[in-house]
Chain A
């Protein structure tokens, strides 16, 4: 708890990312019904919610991956919601999808080097290989020949190279062994120390608790509530109820 308080104290309070009245549709079926978010620079925020609540759709809407969406999305005060998809990354936004998106036609190293650098200050390839020695060993293998955990590492690693400031992670621990989950937790904490803003979608609540400083609870495509890590103990029962755990 003290660690979290200390980080809260040093963090910049301006909203680096904000969403207003975010709505999104899959064909005719509406998945988001007006999501509002305010994410501050350097904080780690977890989006919680039941299956089908709209967490993934929220991340995809922010990244510009939803074909049909409305509302306002600002990064550093600038509206990015009308930009072409390939311009959005240049505003410092990186997305690691739930299915990880490792390319089978590319080697591990090609996967790692694929996303263009959008800003200075990203990890160098050496730093990444120091952080994930497995990836270095397997760098000439086919990307999808990696294990699930290694693929998740690669998916995070390749985004870190680009110098993005805001990282959207969709269920990074899904289907991974506890040891690997711990590794990913370490990586997220290391990124936080580097000042990277993180929005995390997580079903593994214990994992979310380890890294998150603030929570949004999403239900039926709307924000039900949001609270800080310090308020969590008082909400445990309510939260178990909402999440159905």
Chain B
């Protein structure tokens, strides 16, 4: 069977890859949007935190025998905890300065973290096995779906939805949204806003750590695994516009799919299509598709 002259199996498999990539774009840009919304810091450490999530899972298995399922919770928590310490010790000091300082600081942290891991683990990747419950594939009739990939798509959708609910429907989220608009007034009401900032940074970073754990069984765990991905994720964030969570999620999945389709119809452009979209969006809507100018 063919669709538009393309074998349908090839089309669906590229769409699946697009959806998988989109899941990571969505998770990572959601974390960036959560952080930027409140802290006004463009978190360049995000790629390193993604890598830390994957390494945490790998090392937990190696040294403590802790498998994938517990790591899915523990590794992001470790990344969140580490990030909370970073925020308290370093990032909190640049809030009152120009955005550029936050960017430089988090970029510098990335170089340090990735450099340290490269020093100890080299740049080659290490494998991390998918849990045996998720090995193999299911036949969907029109294509074979590897179980683990299906899980990644569902898990990332669920996490995006939970994060959205947390921000839009809970008291914590109300503090977060209010502090985004007027942090001093919220603090004058008696809310511990410095702690709120720390928790929010930890939350956004924890999402990156979770994406890292999810990525570990599919890609090799390597110190630089976040580098290439994060550049694309920043393009996604620019396209979606900072500050809108729904925007970050929707743009992440859509661009993953667009990338997948490009691979089918015009493979030469598949690595650049997201940046091409970014340029067009910047020309037409500089604040991003969902951004408020």
Contact = CB atoms under 8 A, between A and B. Distances in A.
A88 B177 CA distance: 22
Contacts of B193: 85-86
Interface stretch (A15-23, A113-121, A129-137, A146-154): A113-121
A77 B115 CA distance: 55
A110 to B, nearest CB: 5
Given A86-B191, A86-B193, A162-B190, A65 B184 contact: yes
B50 to A, nearest CB: 28
Interface of A: 63-65, 84-90, 95, 97, 101, 103-106, 110-111, 113-116, 118, 162
A75 B83 CA distance: 38
Interface of B: 171, 174-175, 177-178, 180-182, 184-194
A116 B180 contact: no
A204 to B, nearest CB: 24
B190 A103 contact: no
A104 B181 contact: yes
Chain A facing B: main interface SS: loop
Contact of B190 (A65, A104, A111, A115): A115
Contacts of B178: 103, 105-106, 111, 114
B188 A95 contact: yes
B189 A65 contact: no
Contacts, number: 59
Given A65-B184, A85-B184, A104-B181, A162 B174 contact: no
A174 B175 CA distance: 27
A105 B184 contact: no
B189 A89 contact: yes
27 contacts: A63-B188, A65-B184, A84-B194, A86-B191, A86-B194, A88-B188, A89-B190, A90-B190, A95-B188, A97-B185, A101-B182, A103-B178, A103-B181, A104-B181, A105-B177, A105-B178, A106-B174, A110-B174, A113-B171, A113-B174, A114-B175, A114-B178, A114-B189, A115-B191, A118-B190, A162-B189, A162-B190
B33 to A, nearest CB: 14
Given A101-B182, A105-B180, A105-B181, A86 B187 contact: yes
A164 B193 CA distance: 19
Given A86-B189, A101-B185, A110-B174, 18 more contacts: A65-B184, A65-B185, A65-B188, A84-B194, A85-B193, A86-B187, A86-B191, A86-B193, A87-B190, A89-B190, A90-B190, A103-B178, A103-B182, A105-B180, A106-B174, A116-B189, A116-B190, A162-B189
